[in-house]
Amino acid sequence: MATLKILIFPDPKLRTVAKPIKDVNDSIRKLAEDMLETMYSGEGIGLAGTQVDVHKRIIVIDVSNEKNDPLVLVNPVIKEVVNNENKAYSEGCLSVPGIYEELERPSAVEVSALDLDGKEFTFIAEDILSVVIQHEMDHLEGKMMVDFLSNLKREMIRKKMAKYKAT
């Protein structure tokens, strides 16, 4: 296992659109393990390939309190917004460390993805899991939570990140 380096906003590589994974093989399984280790060591609850400069459609998540319920989604797709009601949630991002901003997103989504055996599975995500999946799927499109904020706020965050990187 290895921890991977996380790209920090405004690194332009975070804007890359990730490519579908054609074959869920041992190198993808190894990548998933390394991403989980990176996520756990950063005390995150999700991580997208994009954030570790691997531009493939893979995300890892663990929203459990005990940090013992890893979820890996390969080529995830939101099949349906199950509940059109938006819900506000204070979001953080390992690529924007120390910044928390309230964002609104659909409160429940139906997701399908491949597991690490390459088998498709489908489920309904609600609550924090729904938020994190949408946050991670944005990363795969090169989109970030700061994009939902005002230009002024984003500029302030850009300056904070320059200082963070200098430490």
Binding segment for ligand GNR (CB under 6 A), chosen from 30-38, 85-93, 104-112, 116-124, is: 85-93
49, 105, 129, 139: residue in contact with ligand GNR (rule CB under 6 A):
139
**Secondary structure letter of residue 66 according to DSSP:** T
Report the residue number, 61 or 120, with the smaller CB distance to ligand GNR.
61
Q: Which range binds ligand GNR by CB under 6 A, 16-24, 77-85, 132-140, 149-157?
A: 132-140
User: Quick one: the chain helix, strand, coil %, rounded to 5?
Assistant: 35, 30, 35
| Residue of closest CB approach to Ni ion | 93
Among 136, 137, 140, 161, binds ligand GNR (CB under 6 A): 136
Give the pairing of strands 71-91 and 58-61: antiparallel
Amino acid at 76: P
Asked if 45 and 63 touch (Cβ cutoff 8 Å), the reply is yes
Q: Is 146 helix (H, G, I), strand (E, B) or coil?
A: helix
CA 33 – CA 126 distance, rounded (Å): 25
Q: What is the edge-to-edge ordering of all strands in the sheet holding 120-126?
A: 46-48, 58-61, 71-91, 101-114, 120-126
Binding segment (CB under 6 A) for ligand GNR, from list 111-119, 129-137, 146-154, 155-163: 129-137
Q: Which does 44 bind (CB under 5 to 8 A by kind): Ni ion, ligand GNR, none?
A: ligand GNR
The residues annotated as belonging to the active site are 136
Which residues sit at the interface with ligand GNR, rule CB under 6 A? Answer: 44-48, 51, 91-95, 131-132, 135-136, 139
